[in-house]
A and B are shown apart, each in its own frame.
Chain A
Amino acid sequence: MEAVSTPTLTSVVLFIPLVSMFIILLFREDTQSEYIRWGALIGSLLTFAASILLWLSYDPAQPGLQMAQRSTWITLSATDATYNISYYVGVDGLSLLLVILTTFIMPLAILSSFRSHVLVERGREKLYYAFMLLLEWAMIGVFVAQDLFLFYIFWEVTLIPMYFLIGIWGAEERIYAAVKFFLYTMAGSILMLLAILFVGTQAQSFALPDIIAKVQANPDMFPFSGLFSTQSFLFLGFLIAFAIKVPVWPLHSWLPDAHVQAPTAGSVILAGVLLKMGTYGIVRFCLPLFPQASIEWAPIISVLAIIGIIYGAWVSYAQTDVKKLVAYSSVSHLGFVVLGIFALNSQGIQGGILQMVNHGISTGGLFLLVGMLYERRHTKAMSAYGGIWKVMPVFGGLSLVIALSSMGLPGLNGFVGEFTILLGTFGSPYLGFFFALFATLGVILAAVYILYMFQKVFMGEVDKEENKNLPPLHWQELAVLIPIVIVIFWIGLQPGTFFGSMDASVNQLVTQVTSAASSVVLR
């Protein structure tokens, strides 16, 4: 479908959060805090509704961009022609589900903050919800932007609200964690800026679909001659930025700090959406722009991904802090996603994208559970709990579903994603049996640390006096958890709905990568 210059549904979804942010900024903090809270929630729910409309009007048979809008922003002069930086947004099978994941997670994160004690303690509620909506705007922007300049802007803007969310409303070590988060991400993204500039100048365009078309027509545009050549350096420029965000081992050290120090909603968004920006970026930019380099580097990165899978699971098991355990499990889960992507076949990438959604939902859910426990007991140490299921039966039941989903139990969402990824890895001409074998080890380890955590917190006798009278779930907390559990079952039992919407786009991507790579004789 052709891009138009009039606003499309994509732009509507993108800008509802920003408009809502400006609206809640108009309210007075001291007397109208109710309006601020509910305004933020309604804004994010409207965004969700609009994104559902987006899904309904999306035609899954079309591989290309849909509901795209393109308007010139800056005109750049070059020696022989001029080219544009444009406001260019649209969705396709690669980004649609992630947009919906974002709009799904945000209302839950906002609703879960209503009862948060840090907001009462530290105040500045208006700023908090404004940052949440700003963050939603930027995250949706990352997923819909089709212009490299625009993408970079959204990518960097996500940094600011998250930095403040961790830094103002975080736990004791919040300043250290916030600054570390900022510097790590910035270090990666600024190298990407150079790569973007180079790609844009070389291709005389910053619009991604145009550049991909040029790469297809002329696979030698970014010269490739092995692991260390122009194309590989550009590939790495993008990849390092994304790998820090994912995070791929050994670039993960900011993550435990940020996750543990962030307020509950912050962790939920961080795990639920922000980390996916990295894996999405790999699929969206690294693969189609640098096909030969992607193939050449695939085994190396997959090894790092597998190290991450095993290392993350191992370290999770060693934690005594329940939030840290969940944080490290992210490293492990996202290793699967990266592995699936670098299988470079349709199954691997589809599994990867679905697993991004799955991880967002189940790990987001786990952080919400930890947050609810923390609100009641003000500690994150696993040893302080035990027998919670007896005290809070509904909570225990819901927790079990979410934990099992994170573990990858068949019938729930996590299994579908991991299974497809392993299938893709096994069938990939670049990876193969041993990669799949070691990754499977990660599935087993996941069962170990999740069950260990579940047993320590929920099972056994209520031996601590403080745990005997924990209040049951508030209706707002139920309203947060139930949608998550529904989606967990939905993806687990009906994965076809989700695979169907990305099938065409992923197949097109795989063809692009393999055809561009095979048309160049490796030197």
Chain B
Amino acid sequence: MLFEVPSLESLNLGAALPAVSLTFGVCVLLLVDLLLVPKDRKEITAWLAVAGVVVSFVVNLFTFNTHTEAFLGMFVADSFTGFMNIIILLTAFLGILLSKDYLKRAGIERGEYYTLMLMSAAGMMFMASANDLVVVFIALELLSIPLYILAAFRVPDVKSEESGMKYFILGAFSSAFFVYGAALVYGAAGTTSLPGIFGAVGTIVQTGGSAAFLLLAGAGLILVGLGFKVAVVPFHMWTPDVYEGAPTPVTAFMSVGAKAGGFAALLRIMAISLPAFTLADGQPYAAWQQTFWIIAALTLILGNLVAIAQSNIKRMLAYSSIAHAGYILMAVAAAGTTGLTNDATRAALIYLLAYMFTNLGAFGVALAVERDDGSGTNLEDFVGLAKNRPGLALMMAIFMLSLTGIPLTGGFIGKWFVFKATLDAGLVALAIIGVLTSVVSAFYYVRVIVNMYLRDGEAETPGESRMVNWAVYVAGAGTLIMGIFPFLVTGLSDLVTVAASVVR
């Protein structure tokens, strides 16, 4: 039969409920905002959006440690999905808190903003649970298109328009790469289902020939497509301009969310369906590991070195986020070593969680310092912050130390596990590049602390926003709790077993 209407049971909606409930919430929110919320009371929409996130978060707790498939095997709900969902939903939650007062200050308070943000978050969640290349692609588009609009949300500000346009054009390119790669993989494996590809890889490796090359090329193009999303070198060019031009809460949201989504897909495709793809039978590491290794090294070096030269906090954090993509990519590369897939994936998840708290917090402080007209984002504007806003300055210091990877912060725990995975995988040179670039990164992170605490001056900050303060403190608490009680996070991540979930 060519087309079969699936029964409701076979869809198994319950397994996909966190993502489905958020999607449903977005649709309701769109209507409610349009019909019921008055124009001057858009904060109601913000609260409704928070409610949607909270519902999805609670549902996610119930489905966290299951392992079931939904939508006829195109969607998988396992602990990896559950962990990613936590990261994505927290990102959305903090993103909304950061946005509420900022939108009013900047005079761009419109209800669609929250709808778009949640839509993008739903895309990320689908990405994390995709079990089929087609779903990955749809989720990628669902993730990206709202972000293009959000980046340009500050019209008629030229920088914001440029940001949206640039992001859109490059994003469209990258999607095309991804689709082409997916097509080649389909050509080699004869299926788009990720477990199906995993099953086909064994035969492809043994017979070799054109199928192996198709698979290699396909994997490469997929890496290009997703590499744009997570901003690794050499696919990073758009990042500084887009991050600088986009409204700051949007930058915060996409610097974490888009990366989380992109890495979720990369891990699913590379570490879960292609870990056994070797060029010679019996090789202990996957064929793509070398490429990832080189890209990770380039990303680390370029991101950290160029960040030194930045004088604008948003651009600096943009390059820093490129560098952090490099650290996560180290873990992904390590996942290519046979037997390490689970450990390395856990390391990447822990790193992402730490990065989520820290980076959102840092952007939160940057946003609190930014003036209503969008100026005040230079590093010089942080001079004297410790005197004017001691609480915010303390938090910013913690975030900067966490990004550097100093102990007692989440960033250190993330680095510890990523470096451990890299060393276990035998990628010693990559690990050394990783630690040396961390020293370089200390240089520009510490400069922010120098400006806030060591230099004399008065900081001019706009009026306090309680929402932003809350978001920053939540992020700071998350960073510290991860650093002081790491067993909370490792206990959670130990539940994540990706490799076993596909082998059957």
Contacts and interface: CB of A to CB of B under 8 A. Distances in A.
Interface of B is mostly: helix
Contacts of A178: 450, 454
B34 interface: no
Contact of B406 (A74, A76, A160, A198): A160
Nearest to B442: A186
Interface stretch (B1-9, B76-84, B417-425): B417-425
A167 B454 contact: yes
Interface string A159-192: 1100110011000001100110011001100110
Interface stretch (B140-148, B249-257, B283-291, B430-438): B430-438
A321 interface: no
B242 to A, nearest CB: 31
Contacts of B406: 156-157, 159-160
Contacts of A186: 404, 438-439, 442
Contacts of A190: 405, 435-436, 438-439
Given A157-B407, A167-B453, A198-B423, A183 B435 contact: no
B454 A175 contact: yes
A157 B408 contact: yes
B462 interface: no
A468 to B, nearest CB: 35
B442 A75 contact: no
A61 interface: no
Given A159-B406, A183-B442, A77 B343 contact: yes
Contacts of B431: 194, 197
Contacts of A76: 490
Contacts of A193: 416, 419, 435
Given A156-B407, A159-B406, A194 B432 contact: yes
Interface string B142-158: 00000000000000000
A197 B412 CA distance: 13
A194 B490 CA distance: 20
A28 to B, nearest CB: 13
A522 to B, nearest CB: 25
Interface in A98-154: 149, 152-153
Contacts of B404: 186
Contact of A75 (B405, B408, B455, B487): B487
Nearest to A200: B420
A182 B407 contact: no
A168 B453 contact: yes
A152 B415 CA distance: 13
A79 interface: yes
Interface in B156-207: none
Which of the four size classes fits the interface of chain A?
20 to 34
B456 to A, nearest CB: 9
B435 to A, nearest CB: 4
B486 A74 contact: yes
Nearest to B404: A186
A164 B420 CA distance: 30
Contacts of A194: 419, 423, 431-432, 435
A198 B401 CA distance: 24
Given A167-B450, A186-B442, A194-B435, A77 B407 contact: no
B47 interface: no
Interface of A is mostly: helix
Contacts of B339: 79
Contacts of A77: 343, 494
Contacts of A167: 450, 453-454
Contacts of B423: 194, 197-198, 201
Interface string A65-80: 0000000011111010
Nearest to B450: A175
Given A77-B494, A197-B419, A152 B454 contact: no
A394 B256 CA distance: 64
B450 A74 contact: no
A201 B343 CA distance: 13
Nearest to A202: B423
Contacts of B453: 164, 167-168
A390 to B, nearest CB: 40
A160 B438 CA distance: 16
B446 interface: yes
A153 B487 contact: no
A82 to B, nearest CB: 9
A186 B415 CA distance: 14
Nearest to B437: A190
Given A73-B487, A193-B419, A174 B442 contact: no
From B401, B406, B438, name the one whose CB has the most chain A CB atoms within 10 angstroms.
Answer: B406
Contact of B416 (A174, A183, A197): A197
From B339, B412, B420, B455, name the one whose CB has the most chain A CB atoms within 10 angstroms.
Answer: B420
Contacts of A163: 446
B401 A183 contact: no
B443 interface: yes
B446 to A, nearest CB: 6
B454 A174 contact: yes
A175 B455 contact: yes
A183 B443 contact: yes
Contacts of A159: 406
Interface string B388-430: 0000000000000100111110001000100110011000000
Contacts of A75: 487, 490-491, 494
Contacts of A183: 439, 442-443, 446
Contacts of A168: 453-454
A193 B407 CA distance: 11
A160 B439 CA distance: 15
Given A77-B494, A160-B406, A168-B454, 7 more contacts: A149-B416, A183-B446, A186-B404, A186-B439, A186-B442, A194-B423, A197-B431
5 contacts: A168-B454, A178-B454, A193-B419, A197-B423, A201-B423
Interface of B: 339, 343, 401, 404-408, 412, 416, 419-420, 423-424, 431-432, 435-436, 438-439, 442-443, 446-447, 450, 453-455, 486-487, 490-491, 494
Name the 9 nearest CB pairs between A and B, nearest first: A153-B407, A167-B454, A190-B435, A187-B439, A156-B407, A74-B487, A197-B420, A175-B454, A186-B442
